[in-house]
Amino acid sequence: MSDAFSTRVLNVASGSGETVVDLTRKCEDFLREVAAGRDGLLNVFVPHATAGVAIIETGSGSDDDLLAALHTLLPADDRWQHRHGSPGHGRDHVVPAFVPPHATLPVIAGRLELGTWQSVCLVDTNISNVNRQVRLTFLG
């Protein structure tokens, strides 16, 4: 495989509750190993129908605000056509339309170029799927 393209799959235990998991450090660790000071792009992809990737501030309540907003927009009740799983699980399948399952981010001189308060996060509202995979791909 070319040095210009590197990929890794992270296994993330997202737990049995709705959550926002900060992946920024794992993204930075990956880039330290593979980017070697080069410019390029980092793609973060979640291969799941009920999770997404958000670039958001964490630790100040914004992550909880995001989950609350998703509850307001997409209540976990019996209105959904998709009905298997836990009550209201159909809304989990709509979440990726609002929080997409991917993000592509600039890498400059081997470092992730995020704004001061930005973090790369897995957003998981599916309480029945406690283990997730996240694919990191560097192209540079």
Residue 67 in 3-state DSSP?
helix
Q: What is the pLDDT of residues 47-79, one digit of tens each?
A: 999 999 999 999 899 999 999 999 999 998 988
- CA separation for the pair 81, 79 (Å, rounded): 7
Q: Phi and psi (nearest 5°) for 136?
A: -105, 130
Whole-Å CA distances, 2 to 12, 27, 32, 139: 27, 20, 17, 10
In our burial notation (b when 16+ CB lie closer than 10 A, e otherwise), range 18-27 reads bbbbebeebb
| N-terminal to C-terminal alpha carbon distance within the chain | 13
* CA atoms within a 13 Å half-sphere pointing along the CA-CB vector of 59: 6
Residue ranges with strand state E in 1-140: 5-13, 19-22, 40-45, 51-56, 102-108, 111-112, 119-124, 131-139
pLDDT at 2 over 90: no
What domains sit in the chain, N to C, each tagged with a CATH number?
A: 5-139 (2.60.120.460)
Token digits for 56? Answer: 């958001």
User: What's the pTM?
Assistant: 0.93
Q: What is the pLDDT of residues 72-125, one digit of tens each?
A: 999 989 888 887 878 788 999 999 999 999 999 999 999 999 999 999 999 999
